Amino acid sequence: MMLREEISKFIKESIKTLQKEKKLPEFEVPEILVEQPREKSHGDCSINIALQIAKIAKKKPIEIADLITQSLNDSITQSLFNKVKTAKPGFINFFLSEEYLQNQVKEILKQKNKFGDLKIGKKEKINVEFISANPTGPLTLGNGRGGFGGDVLSNVLEKAGYKVIREYYINDVGNQVKMLGHSVIGDEQAVYKGKYIEDLQKRVKGDNPEKVGEKSARIILKEMVKPSVKKMGIKFDKWFSEKSLYKFSVINLILNKKDVDRIIKMMKVKDLIYDKDDAVWFKSTELGDDKDRVLIKKNNEKTYLVSDMLYLKNKFDRKFNKLIFFWGADHYGYINRIKAAAEALGYKKEQINIIILQLVTLFEKGKKVRMAKRTGFIDLDELVDKVGLDVARFFFLARSLDTHFNFDMNLAKEQSQKNPVYYVQYAYARICSILRKNPKSKIQISNQIQNPNVKLLTHSAELNLIKQLIRFPEIIEDTARDYQVQRVPQYALDLADSFHRCYENCQVISEDKELTKARLTLVSATKVVLKNTLDLMGISAPEKM
């Protein structure tokens, strides 16, 4: 059980006891939010439940806090808390005991790579669709941001107990493929440029932009996109072709009529469509969109929204409980539209989660580097080759995906503690170095120290390190709930920093055999958690640097 779960349990039991004693009225206890105070003087954990229930309890928050605190101090296990104190206007602050922290070191070593595994997902199926770049050119830095973000979120969700399917949606039908064809042909409607277009012009011949575009898109997918995805360290469970939603006719591709008719019929029954200007419209405004959308044009051509509906239905037919999409900033206006479509199909909007990716700007030597698919650009492969996969992953993950990100090429190439990736990996390498050494005392160093006396771990730097270690399951839970993947690299930095500080203040190997064994146990536990964190990010854990 996570620490905050234990605290929540104690609080609920305390309130029930106070209710039985008639010191508090009967009411349903709301969700208890356990936070980590910024000020150390406010304890290791803090809750504001007294403020939440003050009105219903008809007491001042500080009075309620005092009642709960007294109840806890009378009954709570001293092995968990050293003390519990109230603070105005009604906070309850918890100070963890040394005994509790010391025991967590052994627990981490017991669980090893399973430390942080949660069951909150309950094996629910989640489809995470990311990258999904049009097969019209090499992957860009923006694709890299969504790619790494989607992959790491998938890792976190799996760690939290969900069944995750990683999916890439191949937009291999439509205007963008036709524009690729014009670009390869080299006519006045060409929009894409660059060496890859010049290479395609030597391989793909013809004057039909649709056919040239389709053939070129297949080459780009096979020879550019998929190799880039492999270089990124990503393995998709499903490559879904948009073309699979269509069927071939004599002259072109058309959406499967039976599937379209089924959707139109469903929406007619719900009174969600109407005819206007010889077109079929979707009443999407009734479901939260800013305006109604055309489904079928007057020439009987189906819009992209129809194929999107078919794709949504296809996903839900595969029994996914939740769908997560990673979209570029230019798709922000499409969010309400797709959620309205899902609701029209009979699904809940809450089952659709869309993460919008803001732009990435590359800087080298203080100057902005051009990145535009249509005018020639530095692509993702080139960036990974220059800075390495570990650095690329960490840098892209370090900032919230919904904020603009400036990628500093010079810092990325830096091999010093200024580089956050180097700083974290150096902590792991230092741990491995310590565990490889054989001290003069001839204590066998391994991940399983025999009978360590963890009660000797009393230095503030040691206790602070343990506090960081036990945060790991909470990092998993929080990220699985709000999808803020930047929390993981930040945690890695916090953990590495706590370890480096502990190393500087507490000599691991000394003449004191028992203290050495205890500290080696702490170092081993840190190795476990740091390795688990790096694995979540898809970043290597070097044993030597």
What is the tens place of the pLDDT at every residue in 251-288?
444 556 778 888 888 899 999 999 999 999 999 999 99
Query: Do 109 and 10 share a structural domain?
Result: no
Query: Do 453 and 524 share a structural domain?
Result: yes
Residue 357: band (very low, low, confident or very high) from pLDDT cuts 50, 70, 90: very high
DSSP assignment of 290-329 equals: SS-EEEE-TTSPBPHHHHHHHHHHHHHHTT-SEEEEEEEG
Residue 372: band (very low, low, confident or very high) from pLDDT cuts 50, 70, 90: low
Compute and round to an integer the Cα radius of gyration of the chain.
Answer: 28
Q: Which two tokens stand for residue 262?
A: 């089924």
421 within domain boundaries: yes
Mean pLDDT, to the nearest integer, of 409-416?
A: 92
CATH of the domain at 29: 3.30.1360.70
Query: Do 530 and 425 share a structural domain?
Result: yes
Domain of residue 439 covers 102-119+417-537
Mean pLDDT, to the nearest integer, of 465-471?
A: 97
Query: Do 114 and 52 share a structural domain?
Result: no
34 within domain boundaries: yes
Mean pLDDT, to the nearest integer, of 391-413?
A: 96
Each residue of 199-215: pLDDT tens digit? 999 999 999 999 999 99
Instruction: Give me the phi and psi of 7, to 5 degrees please.
Output: -65, -45
Query: Do 533 and 428 share a structural domain?
Result: yes
364 within domain boundaries: no
Residue 67: band (very low, low, confident or very high) from pLDDT cuts 50, 70, 90: very high
511 within domain boundaries: yes
Beta strand pairing status for 273-276 and 91-96?
unpaired
339 within domain boundaries: no
Buried b (16+ CB within 10 A) or exposed e, 271-288: ebbeeeeebbbbbbeebe
Query: Do 109 and 60 share a structural domain?
Result: no
pLDDT of 40 higher than 60: yes
Query: Do 108 and 9 share a structural domain?
Result: no
Residue 450: band (very low, low, confident or very high) from pLDDT cuts 50, 70, 90: confident
Mean pLDDT, to the nearest integer, of 29-58?
A: 93
Spatial distance between the Cα atoms of 433 and 143, rounded to a whole number of angstroms: 37
Give percent helix, percent strand, percent coil of the chain, each to the nearest 5. Answer: 50, 15, 30
Q: How far is CA 440 from CA 433, 437, 454, in A?
A: 16, 10, 21
Which range of 309-318, 414-423, 482-491 scores highest in mean pLDDT? It is: 482-491
Each residue of 319-346: pLDDT tens digit? 999 999 999 998 998 999 999 999 999 9
Q: Are 369 and 377 in contact (CB under 8 A)?
A: no
Q: Which of 441, 363, 450 is nearest to 407 (CA)?
A: 363
Domain termination residue (choose one: 64, 96, 128) = 96
Query: Do 24 and 109 share a structural domain?
Result: no
28 within domain boundaries: yes
Average pLDDT over the chain, rounded to an integer: 91
> What percent of the chain shows pLDDT beyond 70?
94
CATH of the domain at 444: 1.10.730.10
Q: Which of 72, 75, 20 is nearest to 47 (CA)?
A: 72
Residue 442: band (very low, low, confident or very high) from pLDDT cuts 50, 70, 90: very low
Q: Are 421 and 394 in contact (CB under 8 A)?
A: yes
Q: How far is CA 466 from CA 33, 471, 524, in A?
A: 22, 9, 12
Query: Do 112 and 8 share a structural domain?
Result: no
For the chain, how many structural domains are there in total? 2
- Map tokens 């020879």 to a residue: 223
Q: Are 462 and 452 in contact (CB under 8 A)?
A: no
* Apex 100 CA angle, 64 and 454, nearest 5: 160
Q: Which two tokens stand for residue 537?
A: 């990010």
Buried b (16+ CB within 10 A) or exposed e, 129-164: bbbbbbbbbbbbbbbbbbbbbbbbbbbbbbbbbbbb
Q: Which of 542, 538, 540 is nearest to 230 (CA)?
A: 538
Mean pLDDT, to the nearest integer, of 378-395?
A: 93
Q: How far is CA 123 from CA 45, 161, 163, 537, in A?
A: 30, 6, 5, 21
Q: Are 417 and 426 in contact (CB under 8 A)?
A: yes
Q: Which of 137, 242, 251 is nearest to 183 (CA)?
A: 137
pLDDT for residue 446: 47
Mean pLDDT, to the nearest integer, of 116-143?
A: 96
Task: Identify any residues that bridge with 362 across adjacent strands, giving them in sequence order.
Answer: 369, 407
479 within domain boundaries: yes
Query: Do 25 and 110 share a structural domain?
Result: no
pTM for this one?
0.92
Residues 6+ apart with CB under 8 A from 198: none
pLDDT for residue 77: 59
HSE-CB for 263 with a 13 A CA cutoff: 26
pLDDT of 69 higher than 90: yes
Spatial distance between the Cα atoms of 442 and 371, rounded to a whole number of angstroms: 57
DSSP assignment of 9-66 equals: HHHHHHHHHHHHTTSS---PPPPPPEE--SSGGG-SEEE-HHHHHHHHHTS-HHHHHH
Residues 6+ apart with CB under 8 A from 59: 24
Give the CA dihedral 290, 322, 151, 120, nearest 10 degrees: 130
Domain termination residue (choose one: 96, 130, 149) = 96
Q: 137: helix, coil or strand?
A: coil
Q: 251: helix, coil or strand?
A: coil
Q: Which of 143, 144, 166, 142 is nearest to 153 (CA)?
A: 166
Query: Do 523 and 505 share a structural domain?
Result: yes
Spatial distance between the Cα atoms of 130 and 1, rounded to a whole number of angstroms: 33
pLDDT of 438 higher than 70: no
Query: Do 32 and 8 share a structural domain?
Result: yes
Q: Which of 178, 222, 223, 184 is nearest to 205 (CA)?
A: 184
481 within domain boundaries: yes
Task: Identify any residues that bridge with 355 across adjacent strands, giving them in sequence order.
Answer: 326
pLDDT for residue 252: 44
